[in-house]
Amino acid sequence: MDEETLRQVEQIIGHKFSDSNLLAKALTHSSVASERILSNERLEFLGDAILGLVICQVLFERFAGHMEGDLTKMKSMLVSREICAQISRQLGLQKFLKVGKGMIANRALSGSLAAGVLEAVIGAIYLDGGLDTVQNFILRTFASSIDHAQEEQAQGNYKSLLQQYAQEHSNITPVYVLLDEKGPDHDKCFELGAVLGERHFPSAWGTNKKEAEQKAAFNALVELGVLENTSLETEN
């Protein structure tokens, strides 16, 4: 791979390599490598692990009020092939990936191969510049995706959003109180209310306790001014 191409990629990713051979390998697909061990597959393996580590850390630190299940969902979305391919295309990395002649027109260049070259570049940056350097690269290139994941997770998961708000502003955890229930055992409805410290918020009905808790959390968020009152049904 010629030096001019490597310089272009370095400008795109914002890192100048001490060992340019690492970058060249990251951009070499197995279909064109003289030996498979000389392709970017090992760097892709490493980059996938590094990406997962960095994303897990930023989610853990940024979303202190989210439980393990919510964090796992966000992490799975952010490290998915779809998101990695999207970011790779935004950077234009797939244009620099060396592939065999039979794969040049392969549609996978905009999918799994695009994702793979991003992961390989992440692995190469880590080996060349260390964890801080690759962390900066990942946080910069995944910033909008992380913001989008937060928005998607907050939508419809009002309990997590209320817990995050309560911990950040009052260092307390919301409690949900069962106020009433009605109907036969096979078709019960439940009324619950959210409580923050001494403050009680408008209750809500649901066909099960989890639904009622989500609606009660929504009511609390509206009263706190975190959300606007929308068409969410909060009464049975």
Residue 36 placed within a domain? yes
What lies within 8 Å, CB to CB, of 190 at 6+ separation is 178, 180, 181, 205, 206, 207, 208, 209, 212
pLDDT of 231 > 60? The answer is no
Residues 117 and 148 reside in one and the same domain: yes
What lies within 8 Å, CB to CB, of 203 at 6+ separation is 179, 191, 192, 193, 216, 219
186: CATH: 3.30.160.20
| pLDDT for residue 43 | 98
pLDDT tens-place string over residues 11-35: 999 999 999 999 999 999 998 888 9
**Rounded to an integer, what distance in angstroms lies between the CA atom of residue 92 and that of residue 11?**
12
Give the range of the structural domain holding residue 9, as residue numbers without chain letter.
3-154
Residues 150 and 167 reside in one and the same domain: no
Number of domains making up the chain: 2
Residues 163 and 143 reside in one and the same domain: no
Average pLDDT over residues 141-155: 81
Residues 8 and 27 reside in one and the same domain: yes
Residue 229 placed within a domain? no
CA dist list (Å): 67 to 4, 130, 152 = 47, 30, 15
Model confidence at 177, in pLDDT bands (50, 70, 90)?
A: very high
| pLDDT for residue 108 | 52
Point out the catalytic residue in the list 70, 119, 128, 213. Answer: 119
| pLDDT for residue 234 | 41
68-82, 83-97, 134-148: the lowest-pLDDT one: 68-82
Average pLDDT over residues 90-116: 80
Point out the catalytic residue in the list 3, 19, 41, 48. Answer: 48
Residue 123 placed within a domain? yes
For residues 43 and 126, the answer to whether their CB atoms sit within 8 Å is: no
Annotation says 3 is catalytic:
no
Annotation says 228 is catalytic:
no
Q: Which tokens go with 180?
A: 């009433």
Residue 234 placed within a domain? no
pLDDT tens-place string over residues 190-226: 999 999 999 999 999 999 998 899 899 999 999 998 8
- pLDDT, averaged across the chain: 88
Residues 149 and 172 reside in one and the same domain: no
Q: DSSP letter for 18, please.
A: S
Residues 82 and 192 reside in one and the same domain: no
pTM of the model: 0.68
Instruction: Name the percent of the chain lying above pLDDT 70.
Output: 90
Residues 135 and 183 reside in one and the same domain: no
pLDDT tens-place string over residues 59-74: 999 887 777 888 898 8
| pLDDT for residue 153 | 67
Residues 112 and 11 reside in one and the same domain: yes
| pLDDT for residue 105 | 59
21: CATH: 1.10.1520.10
Residues 104 and 26 reside in one and the same domain: yes
| pLDDT for residue 34 | 87
pLDDT of 236 > 60? The answer is no
| pLDDT for residue 9 | 97
The residue from 154, 178, 207 where one domain ends is: 154
Residue 91 placed within a domain? yes
pLDDT tens-place string over residues 156-165: 578 888 888 8
Residues 54 and 137 reside in one and the same domain: yes
The residue from 131, 154, 177 where one domain ends is: 154
**Rounded to an integer, what distance in angstroms lies between the CA atom of residue 234 and that of residue 148?**
26
- Collapse the DSSP code of 234 into the 3-class scheme (helix H, G, I; strand E, B; otherwise coil) and give the result: coil
Residues 129 and 172 reside in one and the same domain: no
